[in-house]
Amino acid sequence: MILYQHPEDKKVPTKQKTRLLPTGLLPPSGPCDCPSGSFVLKDHIPKDQYEELVQRRAKELQQFKIRTTSVLSRMLFASPNSPLQYPIQGLQVPPLTSTLIPGLALQAEERSSYKVSLKVAKGVLTTEIANGVEVHGHGETGLIMESSNLETLNYLLAKVSYTSTIYHIHTGDLASFQFENNEAVFPITIKQPLLPVLYDMGTNVSSHVTIITKTFLRYTKLKVLLSSIRSFYSNIEVIIADDSFEPEHITGERIKQYIMPPGTGWFAGRNLAVSQVTTKYFLWVDDDFVFTEKTKIEKLVEVMEEFPELDVLGGTVQGNQFYFSLIYEEGEEMDGGCLYRKSQGKFHSLPGYPKCFLASGVVNFFLARTEAVQRVGFDPKLQRVAHSEFFMDGLGSLMVATCDHVSIGHQPKKVDNADDARYARFRNPPRNEQEFKLQLHFFKNHLKCVKYG
């Protein structure tokens, strides 16, 4: 494409300033403001541990940034009226592999000689050799070409290849393209191509979805759940993660029970169950839920198949369509970010599904893409009350939505047997576990404050 052509005489300016920020980076963000009602997390760190903890957190943050940012994170500015043509997006090369740089060209008024240069930092440049063109730096980081014939020069520009000299599965380089006083800088993504991971789905829901749950002591309720599942889905596989003190063996066709060390915890159990799923999707249910005629797994699968970008799709529990949005400000590097979990916060609806909305987190009844959730995982440090934390860890990784046309029931919450009574003693965490969760957000999520609204 031609980036510049004067509407009258096609003259190209030759005096321009490079529009690249001096550091190549966005200005550092300032501190974020904690909304009223937030937990200020540093207040929950023991004073004698605070300074050392902050230093360790800062080190971990720098390592996180090294893993998640690259030269491609820089903001570039295109100079106005440039005679240089170059790729501005989508140039991706495998590591250590010679790849043509498409779209390179010079659009300039007639001159006695044309001289262009290209420079990179993490690779080398090559082109063909042709009569009438001087080429310097072939196979090096800087390539200079000069010719009195613009057509021949553009022919060689179309043959320029880039080869990275480092192996990295996902990084990048910035190429500088110069002609006289004009300079363009464009990104080159160096990325190892992904090997597809595909699921050979059958023709029925049992080959699409595995149901998973975590149980602790509540075998009476678990058996009610399993019976209700079989009333509607006779062949679907069910995986149970069980960390009860005295495990009771659960039998039945296509039921897998994995016994864990006693009291290992809620999220550790979820990790175990998800790790054993072999289907494209899994359906998460609590062990005190109950399937009804409104629990149509197929309808959730239909939405997920229609929108392959989705990773998690929630339904309703007894008509309760709980969902929330996460509003996150990165904040200043030393203080950390500010996070607001806004209950009933949602975004726009899914095209063609007016009862389904995008959100950041959903109720504890959801269909999920197995490989996407396995990448995020559930933090096993959180043993009792934890749900929002999974979606916090998945923010920016998981595309989440909620629908109200698929529902599941909830068994009565009354304590009517010894197992229920015993379970109730463990249900609500003591204050020290709540404090631990806030301390975890301070360090692990690099947060300054959290608000639950």
Domain positions in the chain: 74-191, 205-452
Residue 14 has pLDDT above 50, yes or no: no
DSSP 20: B
Are the CB atoms for 238 and 256 separated by under 8 Å?
yes
What H or E segment, with its residue span, contains residue 302?
helix 297-306
Within 8 A by CB and 6+ apart from 386, the residues are 266, 267, 378, 379, 437
Within 8 A by CB and 6+ apart from 255, the residues are 226, 237, 238, 240
Residue 117 has pLDDT above 90, yes or no: yes
pLDDT digits (tens, 9 = 90+) for 43-52: 999 999 999 9
Q: What are phi and psi of 451, to 5 degrees?
A: -125, 130
Does pTM top 0.75 for this prediction?
Answer: yes
The mean pLDDT value of the chain amounts to 90
Token pair, residue 47, equals 């004073």
Q: What's the angle, vertex CA 26, arms to CA 23 and CA 28, rounded to 5?
A: 100
More confident residue, 184 or 424: 184
Residue 1 has pLDDT above 50, yes or no: no
Give the pLDDT band of residue 17 (cuts 50, 70, 90): very low
| pLDDT at residue number 426 | 62
Poorest-pLDDT segment among 70-74, 213-217, 407-411? 70-74
Give the pLDDT band of residue 297 (cuts 50, 70, 90): very high
**What's the distance, CA 430 to chain centroid?**
33
- The Cα 260–Cα 265 span in angstroms is 9
Poorest-pLDDT segment among 260-274, 298-312, 376-390, 422-436? 422-436
Token pair, residue 46, equals 């023991």
H-assigned helices in 341-450: 370-376, 388-393, 418-427, 431-443
Which CATH number is 205-452's, of 3.40.630.30, 3.20.20.80, 3.90.550.10, 1.20.1530.20? 3.90.550.10
CATH code of the domain made up of 74-191: 2.60.40
What H or E segment, with its residue span, contains residue 207?
helix 205-208
**What's the distance, CA 117 to chain centroid?**
37
- Read off the pLDDT of each residue in 311-324 and give the average, rounded to a whole number: 95
Residue 22 has pLDDT above 70, yes or no: no
Residue 269 has pLDDT above 80, yes or no: yes
Q: CB 442: neighbour CB atoms within 10 A?
A: 25
Give the pLDDT band of residue 202 (cuts 50, 70, 90): confident
The single-letter code of the amino acid at 421 is A
- The Cα 314–Cα 286 span in angstroms is 13
| pLDDT at residue number 379 | 92
Proportion of the chain above pLDDT 70, given as a percent: 90
pLDDT digits (tens, 9 = 90+) for 71-88: 888 888 888 889 999 999
| pLDDT at residue number 75 | 83
What H or E segment, with its residue span, contains residue 60?
helix 47-68
- The Cα 422–Cα 415 span in angstroms is 9
Residue linked to tokens 């494209």: 280
Are the CB atoms for 325 and 20 separated by under 8 Å?
no
